[in-house]
Structure 1
Amino acid sequence: MEKTRTTADGSTVVLRTLELVDLEQIHRLECELFPVDAWPIEMFLAEVQHPTRHYIVLEQEHQIIGYAGVMTVADTADVQTLAVCSSARGRGYGRWLLETLHEQALARGAERIMLEVRADNPIAQNLYLAQGYTPVHRRERYYNDGVDALIMMKNLENVESLQEEKHHDQ
C-alpha cells in the first residue's frame, strides 16, 4: 500500500505500510511526542509483527513525520496509536492517517472502531469528533501521569457506504 500527496512547496508526502527499518525513527518520534507514555521499541516490534495489527507511516524526504496503527479482532477495531510530528500538524495528515486506518479496519471485517485519547488533548479529540467518533466512556487515571482517557467509538458502516459511492462514481 502506498499513497502520495504533493505539498504546497512541491515536496511529496508518502503514506505507506510501516517496515521494520522504520522502527528507530518511529521510536525517536514517539519519545519526542509522548515523553510520559512512550512505547518501548520492543513494544513497537511486537505490535508490527502481530497478525491482527496494521501500521502505516507518513514519510517526507526520507523522514517519518507521522505514524498510526490499528488492531482488528472480529468486528471491532482499535486505534493503537496515531501521531504526527509537531512541525507537520495542521495539514490534514492526522485525518489522512485515521481515514487509512478506517479503510484497513473495514478490509479486515471491522464494523466499529474504538480509541483512547487523553482527556487533556482537545486537538486530538476534535479530530476524532470531526471524523464521526463519539465518547462512550472515561477511564480515570489511564495514562502514566494520571490523566484520564476518553474512550471514543465510530460505526464504520457509514465509511463503507461512502467508499462504495466513491468507487461507483469513478
Structure 2
Amino acid sequence: MKVEDIEQICLIEEESFTTPWTAGAFYNELVNNHFARYMVMEYNGEVAGYAGMWLIMDEAHVTNIAVREKFRGFKLGQRLVVELKKTAGYLGASRMTLEVRESNEIARNLYRKLGFEASGVRKGYYSDNNEDAIIMWAELGSFPQASTEGADGSE
C-alpha cells in the first residue's frame, strides 16, 4: 500500500465498516508506524481490496481486511489473508491474531478455514454497537497450502 492508495482505501472502508478508519489514520500507519505492514490487491489499476497488520516481535496482529463491494464473492478476502500470513511468516512472525465481530459468521468461517481458532472474547469491543469480538489465533504455516502434487511429475 502506498500513500497514493489511501483515497481508494477510504472508499472501501466506507463500504465495509460502520466506523471506518480515516485517511489520516491510514497515512499515520504508512508513514509513522514502523510495526505496520499493509498491502493492496489491484484490478486494472483499481484497489479491489486491502489488508494490514502490525508485526511485534514474533506475532502479527491483523488490523483490517476489506474488499471493495463490487469485487466480493471472488475469494479475494481469502487471498488477502493467505498473503498476510505468508508475509508475516517471511518477516519472522510465528503466530497471527485478529478480532472479528461475533455476528460476522462469514469472516469467522473464513478464518477457521485458514487455520485460526477462537481463543477468547473482547466484551463490547466494537464501539458502534458494543458488540463482542472473538479473538482468534493461528500458528503460521498451519493454513492449507496449494497442492503441488504432480506439478513436477512427482507425488
Task: Please report the TM-score for the alignment, with normalisation by the length of structure 1.
Answer: 0.80
The CA distance in 2 between the partners of 1:157 and 1:62, in whole Å, is: 31
The CA distance in 1 between the partners of 2:91 and 2:28, in whole Å, is: 19
Q: 2:61 aligns with which of 56, 69, 78?
A: 78
Aligned to 1:48: 30
Structure 2, unaligned runs of 5 or more: none
Contact 2:36 2:52 (C-alpha < 8 Å) held by counterparts: yes
Letter in 2 for 1:158: S
Count residues in correspondence: 148
Letter in 1 for 2:90: A
Letter in 1 for 2:132: D
Aligned to 2:137: 153
Q: Secondary structure at the match of 1:127?
A: helix
1:89-128 maps to which residues of 2 (within 5 A)? 89-128=72-111
Per-residue CA deviations over 1:74-131 (Å, capped at 9, x if unaligned) read: 1110111000122212211111111110111111111100001111111111110100
The CA distance in 1 between the partners of 2:68 and 2:131, in whole Å, is: 22
Aligned to 1:9: none
- Runs of 4+ off more than 2 Å: none
The CA distance in 2 between the partners of 1:72 and 1:22, in whole Å, is: 21
Aligned to 1:3: none
Between structures 1 and 2, the one with greater helix share: 1
The CA distance in 2 between the partners of 1:43 and 1:57, in whole Å, is: 16
1:129 and 2:129 are equivalent in the alignment: no
- Superposed displacement of residue 158, structure 1: 3.1
1:37 and 2:19 are equivalent in the alignment: yes
**Alpha-carbon RMSD:** 2.0
- Superposed displacement of residue 162, structure 1: 5.4
Q: Which stretch of structure 1 is more off in the superposition, 56-65 or 95-104?
A: 56-65
Aligned residues with identical type, % of pairs: 34
The CA distance in 2 between the partners of 1:131 and 1:114, in whole Å, is: 12
The CA distance in 1 between the partners of 2:70 and 2:11, in whole Å, is: 15
Structure 1, unaligned runs of 5 or more: 1-17
Letter in 1 for 2:27: L
Task: Please report the TM-score for the alignment, with normalisation by the length of structure 2.
Answer: 0.87
